[in-house]
Amino acid sequence: MTANSNGQPQPLENDRLLKALARQPVDRTPVWMMRQAGRYLPEYREVRAQAGSFMDLCRNAELACEVTLQPLERYPLDAAILFSDILTIPDAMGLGLYFETGEGPKFRKPLRTAADVASVSAPDAERDLDYVMNAVRTIRRELNGRVPLIGFSGSPWTLATYMVEGGSSKDFRHIKSMLYGEPQALHTLLGVLATAVTDYLNAQIRAGAQVVQIFDTWGGALSTPAYRDFSLAYMQRIVGGLIREHEGRRVPVILFTKNGGQWLESIAESGCDAVGLDWSTELHEARRRVGHQVALQGNLDPNVLFAPPAQIRAEVERLLKSFGVGEGHVFNLGHGISQFTDPDHVTAFLDALHELSPAYHQ
Ligand code: CP3
In the chain, the number of structural domains is 1
Q: What is the distance between the alpha carbons of residues 35 and 67, in angstroms, rounded to a whole number?
A: 11
d(CA 259, CA 287): 17
| Nearest in space to 149 (alpha carbons), one of 57, 252, 47 | 252
Which residue type occupies 277? Answer: L
Give 280 Cα–ligand 1 centroid separation in angstroms.
21
Q: Which of 22, 49, 81, 54 lies closest to 336, judged by CA? A: 81
Q: What is the DSSP secondary structure assignment for residue 167, as one 8-state letter? A: B
Residue 124 included in any domain: yes
Residue 102 is predicted with a pLDDT of 79
Q: How many CB atoms lie within 10 A of CB 191?
A: 15
Q: Predicted confidence band at 61 (pLDDT cuts at 50, 70, 90)?
A: very high
**Residues 324-334, mean pLDDT to the nearest whole number:** 98
Confidence (pLDDT) at 103:
83
SS3 label, residue 310: helix
Condensed to tens digits (0 to 9), the pLDDT of residues 246-286 reads: 999 999 999 999 999 999 999 999 999 999 999 999 999 99
Query: Cβ(87) to ligand 1 under 6 A?
Result: yes
Crossing angle (nearest 10°) for helices 173-181 and 183-207: 120
Helix-helix angle 309-323:343-356, to 10 degrees: 40
ipTM: 0.92
Q: Does 35 reside within a domain? A: yes
Q: Is the pLDDT of residue 5 over 60?
A: no
Q: Is the CB of 48 under 6 A from ligand 1?
A: yes
Instruction: Tell me the CA–centroid distance for residue 37 and ligand 1, in Å.
Output: 10
Is residue 362 very low, low, confident or very high in pLDDT (cuts 50, 70, 90)? confident
Query: For position 31, what pLDDT does the model report?
Result: 98
Q: Which contacts qualify for 234-238: CB closer than 8 Å, 24 or more apart?
A: 234/155, 234/156, 234/157, 234/190, 234/191, 234/193, 234/194, 235/155, 235/156, 235/270, 235/272, 236/270, 236/271, 237/194, 237/198, 238/155, 238/156, 238/194, 238/197, 238/198, 238/201, 238/214
Question: Residue 192 Cα, ligand 1 centroid: separation in angstroms?
Answer: 23
- Decide: helix, strand or coil at residue 32: coil
Mean pLDDT of 49-67: 96
Q: Which of 28, 35, 140, 313 is catalytic?
A: 35
Q: What is the pLDDT of residue 257?
A: 98
Q: Decide: helix, strand or coil at residue 130.
A: helix
% pLDDT > 90, the chain: 95
The contacts of residue 100 (CB under 8 Å, 6+ apart) are 106
Helices (H), 96-182: 114-118, 125-128, 130-143, 156-165, 173-181
Is 217 assigned to a binding site? yes
- How many angstroms separate the alpha carbon of residue 236 from the centre of ligand 1? 24
pLDDT tens for 144-167 read: 999 999 999 999 999 999 999 999
Asked if pLDDT for residue 6 goes beyond 80, the answer is: no
State if residue 38 touches ligand 1 by the CB under 6 angstroms criterion.
yes
Residue 180 is part of a domain; what is its CATH number?
3.20.20.210
pLDDT of residue 40: 98
Which residue in the list 85, 91, 273, 278 is annotated as catalytic?
85
Binding site membership of 19 for ligand 1 (Cβ less than 6 Å)? no
Q: How many CB atoms lie within 10 A of CB 278?
A: 21
Measured in Å, residue 156 CA sits from the centre of ligand 1 at 16
Dist CA 265 CA 328 (whole Å): 16
From the CB of 143, is ligand 1 less than 6 Å away? no
pLDDT band at 7 (very low <50, low <70, confident <90, very high): low
Asked if the model's pLDDT at residue 341 lies above 50, the reply is: yes
Q: Is residue 11 part of a domain?
A: no
In a domain, 7, yes or no: no
- Helices 233-241 and 156-165: crossing angle in degrees, nearest 10, is 120
Q: What pLDDT score was predicted for residue 1?
A: 43
Catalytic residue among 48, 59, 140, 313: 48
The phi-psi region of residue 230 (left if phi > 0; otherwise alpha if psi is between -120 and 50; otherwise beta) is alpha
pLDDT at 4 over 90: no
- Which position has the higher pLDDT, 143 or 2? 143
* Mean pLDDT for all residues in the chain: 96
| Residue 8: predicted pLDDT | 61
Q: Is residue 356 part of a domain?
A: yes
Asked if residue 138 is part of any domain, the answer here is yes
Cβ-contact 64, 130 below 8 angstroms: no
CA-based torsion, 242, 125, 217, 40: positive or negative:
positive
- Is 357 in contact with 317 (CB distance < 8 Å)? no
- Rounded distance between C-alpha atoms, residue 277 and residue 257, angstroms: 7
Q: For residues 302 and 304, give the distance between their C-alpha atoms in angstroms, rounded to a whole number.
A: 5
Does residue 9 fall inside a structural domain?
no
Testing ligand 1's pocket by substitution, the residue of 35, 82, 153 carrying the most ligand atoms inside 8 A of its CB is: 35
Among 86, 87, 46, 77, smallest CA distance to 63 is for 46
| 74-116 pLDDT, tens digit each | 999 999 999 999 999 999 999 999 998 778 999 999 999 999 9
CB 32 within 8 A of CB 150: yes
What pLDDT, in 10s, does the model give residues 280-323? 999 999 999 999 999 999 999 999 999 999 999 999 999 999 99
Contact (CB, 8 A) for 301 and 2:
no
Q: Residue 204's pLDDT band (boundaries 50, 70, 90)?
A: very high
Query: What is the residue range of 296's domain?
Result: 16-360
